[in-house]
Amino acid sequence: MNSSDQHLGASLSARASTNNERHWHSTTFRWLSIYAAIFALSLIVLVGLMGWSVTTKMELDNDLLMQWQLIYFKSIDSQHLPQAIRQRMEHEHMHTNYYGLFAPDGRYLIGDILKLPDGLPPDTSKRTLEGGLVVAGQTRAPAVRALADRWPDGTRLVIARDLSHVLLIRKTILSTLIGGGLLCLIASFATGALLSIRQMRRVQAIRRATLRIADGDINQRLPTGGQDELDMLAHLVNHMLDRIEQLMEQVKGACDGIAHDLRTPLAHVRTLLANVADDARPVSEAEARRMIDQARAETDALLNRFRALLRISEIGAVRRRGGFESMDLSALVRDVSELYEPVAEDRGVSWVVEVEDAPAILGDRALLFEAFGNLLDNAVKFAANNGRVQIRLALRARGPELTVTDDGPGIPEQERAFVLKPAYRSERTRHLPGSGLGLSIVAAVADLHDFAIRIDNNPSGPGTAVRIECWSHAMD
């Protein structure tokens, strides 16, 4: 293990130790804490609402029953009232109702309520008494709902209903609710803690992969498989890394191709200059001029290649589409075809143009003119002597499609992906003059417009058919 790996391992260990201490500070745990606070507050409100609702319902039901009992006792005259209370007490087996009759001075007359409750007004107002009622035969005062009424002779009647069983039910319900809520809260905290630890482990794995990528290991990829936001982000980053790796390979391939193509002309120029400067080999003025002209031609070819590379770079640097405008693609194809038709005639190449009227598209006319021109120039250059080039613009389901077909040597299937890269030249055409950058410019312009390029065999014989699908492939 080299020093860089040791440094990376130490850094990862230190970061992992720090992250283990910060499990409780993760976003998952913070959101869980907020949820727990909201849940606890909601539980308190729910318990309070249920307690109030049950108590209110309980009081209303008991008040209604006591009101009917009071109406019954009021229907009896004062002389028979003690007898009516005694009969009610004899038939009361559940001990849910209590009665008490008291003299005007508060003395006990009859009933199982032995003492006039304090604070109970004789105006039929209902009160809940917890511990303030003295009942015969009970050492512990029950919780009751009570009312009192005054008779014309000053006698006071007290009616009460036992609430013990109702309060017990309410207490059981509220206790169950509180216990279940606390259990759910504890379970939520435990689950959140486990999820937080799991998420932090995933974040640590992502951080380790990111640190290795930052140290130059471009083949590393972020771990995936969580099927959540982190997983979606990891897929996006991995897609970006794939694209960066692809671009780096393209740059490397372009550099290798440039080095290969420039080596021969530079060697020619050096040899020519060495021959001119070599005093040991006298040359005539005509021969010296010829060698200088040849060196100039080789130098011009080199400059043309560099200009083409710079042009590809300029096109690739155009990211804004503010210069795009609605344009007539059919007219553009006709203009480019007319420009290169004389070149084809000079080589004796048959020139066939078939252009259908296409709807207007958004694009940069100057760049598309340059790209289509390079495509036609290649077709004329690589067509067979007295061969045939066909330019066809046809309407497809998704938009217009430009197809340029020649009967040249063709492009092998395994090389079709490479000929669109800068400075790549097929082995079949390396002997012909050229820089190998024409199709690269076409690819750069097509990429800027989100068009797609397809390279196929000539369907009617030897040669190549290059198709440009002139519609957006951004969502494909």
**pLDDT score for 11:** 47
Count the helices and strands in the chain (H runs, E runs): 9, 12
**pLDDT score for 356:** 92
Is residue 244 scored above 50 in pLDDT?
yes
Is residue 327 scored above 70 in pLDDT?
yes
**pLDDT score for 280:** 45
Single-letter amino acid code for the residue at 419: V
User: What six digits make up the tokens of 211?
Assistant: 């640190």
Give the domain ranges of the chain: 1-218, 221-317, 325-469
| More confident: 149 or 476 | 149
**pLDDT score for 465:** 92
**pLDDT score for 137:** 73
What is the average pLDDT across 277-284? 57
**How far apart (Å, rounded) are the C-alpha atoms in residues 157 and 459?**
114
User: What six digits make up the tokens of 14?
Assistant: 């230190």
Q: Does residue 383 contact residue 407 with C-beta atoms inside 8 Å?
A: yes
What is the average pLDDT across 132-154? 81
Is residue 257 scored above 60 in pLDDT?
no
Q: What is the CATH number of domain 325-469?
A: 3.30.565.10
**pLDDT score for 323:** 63
Q: Of the ranges 8-22, 181-195, 421-435, which is most confident?
A: 181-195
Q: Does residue 378 contact residue 439 with C-beta atoms inside 8 Å?
A: yes
Is residue 185 scored above 70 in pLDDT?
yes
98-108 residue pLDDT tens: 888 898 888 88
Single-letter amino acid code for the residue at 394: A
DSSP 137-169: T-SSPPEEEEEEEE-TTS-EEEEEEE-HHHHHH
Is residue 5 scored above 50 in pLDDT?
no
**Termini Cα distance of the chain:** 45
| pLDDT tier, 230 (very low <50, low <70, confident <90, very high otherwise) | confident
**pLDDT score for 351:** 92
CA 30, 31, 36, 41 dihedral sign is: positive
Is residue 387 scored above 70 in pLDDT?
yes
**pLDDT score for 155:** 87
HSE of 258, CA atoms in CB hemisphere, 13 A:
18
**pLDDT score for 229:** 74
| More confident: 427 or 182 | 182
Single-letter amino acid code for the residue at 142: P
| pLDDT tier, 7 (very low <50, low <70, confident <90, very high otherwise) | very low
User: What six digits make up the tokens of 213?
Assistant: 């990528």
What is the average pLDDT across 202-210? 83
Q: Does residue 287 contact residue 264 with C-beta atoms inside 8 Å?
A: no
**pLDDT score for 391:** 93
Average pLDDT, the chain: 77
| More confident: 257 or 77 | 77
| pLDDT tier, 329 (very low <50, low <70, confident <90, very high otherwise) | very high
Match domain 221-317 to its CATH number in 1.10.760, 1.10.287, 1.10.3470, 3.30.200.
1.10.287
Is residue 238 scored above 60 in pLDDT?
yes
What is the average pLDDT across 413-430? 66
Is residue 13 scored above 60 in pLDDT?
no
**pLDDT score for 332:** 93
Is residue 322 scored above 60 in pLDDT?
no
**pLDDT score for 12:** 43
**pLDDT score for 330:** 93
Q: Which CATH class is domain 1-218?
A: alpha beta
What is the average pLDDT across 427-434? 52
345-382 residue pLDDT tens: 988 899 999 999 988 888 888 888 888 988 998 889 88
What is the average pLDDT across 303-316? 60
Q: Of the ranges 87-96, 198-207, 211-220, which is most confident?
A: 211-220
Is residue 83 scored above 80 in pLDDT?
yes
Is residue 414 scored above 90 in pLDDT?
no
Is residue 93 scored above 60 in pLDDT?
no
**pLDDT score for 122:** 82
**pLDDT score for 226:** 67
**How far apart (Å, rounded) are the C-alpha atoms in residues 88 and 144?**
18
> Which of 143-152, 301-310, 320-329 shows the lowest mean pLDDT across its residues?
301-310
